[in-house]
Amino acid sequence: MITRCLKRGILILCSIIVTNVIVRGQETVSTFLPIADPYILLYEDVYYAYGTSQSDSFKVYTSKDLKSWTCAEHLALHKDNSYGNKWFWAPEVYYVEKFKKFYMFYSTEEHICVATSDSPLGPFVQDEKKPIREEKGIDTSVFFDEDGKVYLYFVRFTDGNVIWCAELEENLKGIKEETLTPCIAAKEPWERLLGKVAEGPSVIKKRDVYYLLYSANDFRSQDYAVGYATATSPLGPWKKYEHNPLLHRVEDLVGTGHGAPFVDKEGKYRYVFHAHKSLTEVNQRNTYIVDMSMSHKKGVSIGGNLIRPVVSK
């Protein structure tokens, strides 16, 4: 993601990598999954991946096994169907049974937006081409609580990048401004190695505890990393885990962060995240997946069984 600025490799067995393309002879076989700020939706036995790329729209990739991915023929969201003409970042997609629709929350031109579709492949379209709020913001993520209330977590530029939360209106296209509440600011030493940035929020709940996962530092930092905080309410107050960060410099990867938890086909938690293109280049960032677990006593753990997804040609 960003700090009020423009947004936001890797050896494969027995293959030669040239500019992030695996080549056998002269035949192009596959590439890394080239999205940052990734999000994975599991719907009807198919995984759908969305994220930030170096374009003015959103692509969507599909997979059956999390390892091999295919880019859909058509864009998930084209800028012509959206407010904004540039800086399309961090999409997340949810199926809302109540409305029989898929909702994509994202930011463009540093404003938070929502578009809908009848399919996870899109096309996603804004009914009204305007942002959710007039004030600038980025990095949207939605949490559906058990009591039927729905909350939007996002970044406001209030003394750096700060994570805020508000309850969404019933139609999920506006927030209840009176519920707007600060959640996470970059204050700890590990969070301020480059910039004053807390971003990329995701919230999950286990028993009566809410877990807010987030990233800190400027995304261009090799020490971009993931931590978490807990609360007994979706609006906080939030207590940061004392042993943060959870995810930082995984194997040969740097700039690891801005991901999202998801549940796989076996019912296990995974965490999808991005890392820098290489030790010397930031973009195009690529997507990776690791195991994740939660327990009431041990809290959140992220790591192990690293998957390096590729896009089949």
CATH code of residue 246: 2.115.10.20
Which residue would you say has higher pLDDT here, 282 or 9? 282
- The neighbouring-strand residues paired with 156 are 162
pLDDT of residue 260: 98
Residue 28 forms part of a structural domain:
no
Number of helical (H) and strand (E) elements in the chain, helices listed first: 0, 23
Banded model confidence at residue 313, pLDDT cuts 50, 70, 90: low
What is the pLDDT confidence band of residue 14, given thresholds at 50, 70 and 90?
A: very low
In a domain, 111, yes or no: yes
Does residue 125 surpass a pLDDT of 60?
yes
Is there a domain that residue 253 lies in?
Answer: yes
In a domain, 105, yes or no: yes
- Higher pLDDT pick, 227 / 18: 227
- 162: Cβ contacts below 8 Å, ≥ 6 apart: 155, 156, 182, 183, 184, 185, 186, 198
| Counted domains in the chain | 1
Asked if residue 178 has pLDDT above 70, the reply is: yes
Percent of the chain's residues with pLDDT above 70: 90
Q: Is residue 212 part of a domain?
A: yes
Residue numbers of the domain that contains 250 = 35-262
How far apart are the C-alpha atoms of 94 and 48, rounded to whole Å?
11
pLDDT above 70: residue 34:
yes
Indicate the pLDDT class of residue 298, thresholds 50, 70 and 90: confident
Which residues, 6 or more positions from 251, have their beta carbon under 8 angstroms from its beta carbon? Answer: 306
Cα-Cα-Cα-Cα torsion 298, 199, 85, 273, nearest 10 degrees, comes to -40
Q: Is the model's pLDDT at 257 over the cut of 90?
A: yes
What is the C-alpha to C-alpha distance for residues 15 and 20, in angstroms, rounded to an integer? Answer: 11
pLDDT higher at 311 or 21: 311
- Domain membership of residue 85 (yes or no) is yes
Residue 63 domain-assigned?
A: yes
Give the pLDDT band of residue 16 (cuts 50, 70, 90).
very low
Per-residue pLDDT of 193-227, as tens digits, reads: 999 999 999 999 998 999 999 999 999 999 999 99
The predicted model scores a pTM of 0.91
Q: How far apart are alpha carbons 225 and 236 in whole angstroms? A: 22
CB 301 within 8 Å of CB 24: no
Q: Look at residue 6 in the predicted model and tell me its pLDDT.
A: 44
d(CA 148, CA 144): 7
Question: Token pair of 14, please?
Answer: 């027995």
Average pLDDT (92-103) is 97
Q: How much is the pLDDT for 297?
A: 82
Given a cut of 60, whether residue 152 has pLDDT beyond it is: yes
The reply to whether 13 falls in a domain is no
Q: What is the pLDDT of residue 17?
A: 32
